[in-house]
Chains A and B, each alone.
Chain A
Amino acid sequence: DIQMTQSPSTLSASVGDRVTITCRASQSFSNWLAWYQQKPGNAPQLLIYKTSILARGVPSRFSGSGAGTEFTLTISSLQPDDFATYYCHQYNTYSHTFGQGTKLEIK
């Protein structure tokens, strides 16, 4: 299985900041990577798929990039609604895997 290592585990930031979350894969793969946002008590919501394509209704301040073993999620200007936990997800193989999550906290 491909292991996904997400960093940082926790990120403290302020409204208006630009933040980046990274996922590193244990082996190189193509662009079959997604990002999700989860708020406490709720199911995750898809933000980005195929590395860089925004899901419907997702604000343009979210963006994704990467290739090979390193993938990133960037939020260009944090809004109050963005404080949540974020997960990467590889679906390049039959057995999918998630990163361990990044909790984005208000500084």
Chain B
Amino acid sequence: EVLLLESGGGLVQPGGSLRLSCAASGFHFTTYAMSWVRQAPGKGLEWVSGISGSGTSTSYADSVKGRITISRDNSRDTLYLQMSSLRPEDTAIYFCAKDGGGGRPYADNPGELGSWGPGTQVTVSS
């Protein structure tokens, strides 16, 4: 069974930093691209970032480019999201998601999001 569990969320002041983790189990982690998706309170889903299985290729939404870095440690089956220069509008639940394996246009970018973690809450406020 695929399991994804995010951690590292919390309350942080504007301008601060936070690192989220996503522990994966139940599948061969290295094989699958991964993504982060966020959801602000009462709002819709926003794709944040994606990373290839090897970790060598990354992609970002324009809204976070330059402030957020996605990475992974395949020896630990763990995905990360390093966030800096945080703003109140970054307040959201952050989900990690596993590529569904149904095919994608670019081999080094995630496709559909087949499995999701429960999410971790990030609140940016003074």
Interface residues of A (CB under 8 A from B): 1, 30, 32, 34, 36, 38, 42-46, 49-50, 53, 55, 85, 87, 89, 91-101
Contacts and interface: CB of A to CB of B under 8 A. Distances in A.
B41 interface: no
A1 B62 contact: yes
Consensus secondary structure, chain B interface: loop
Given A46-B115, A89-B112, A96-B110, 5 more contacts: A32-B111, A34-B112, A50-B103, A94-B109, A98-B44
B116 interface: yes
Consensus secondary structure, chain A interface: loop
B45 A91 contact: no
Nearest to A46: B114
Interface string B36-80: 010000001111001000000001111000000000000000000
Nearest to A32: B105
Contacts of B111: 32, 49, 91
A46 B112 contact: yes
Contacts of A32: 104-105, 111
Contact of A92 (B47, B100, B105): B105
B95 interface: yes
B35 interface: yes
A104 B84 CA distance: 36
A89 B116 contact: no
Given A34-B112, A44-B45, A96 B35 contact: yes
Contacts of B60: 95
Given A1-B62, A43-B119, A55-B100, A96 B50 contact: yes
B113 A46 contact: yes
Contacts of A99: 44
B45 A101 contact: yes
B117 interface: yes
Contact of A44 (B106, B110, B113): B113
Contacts of A49: 100, 102-103, 111-112, 114
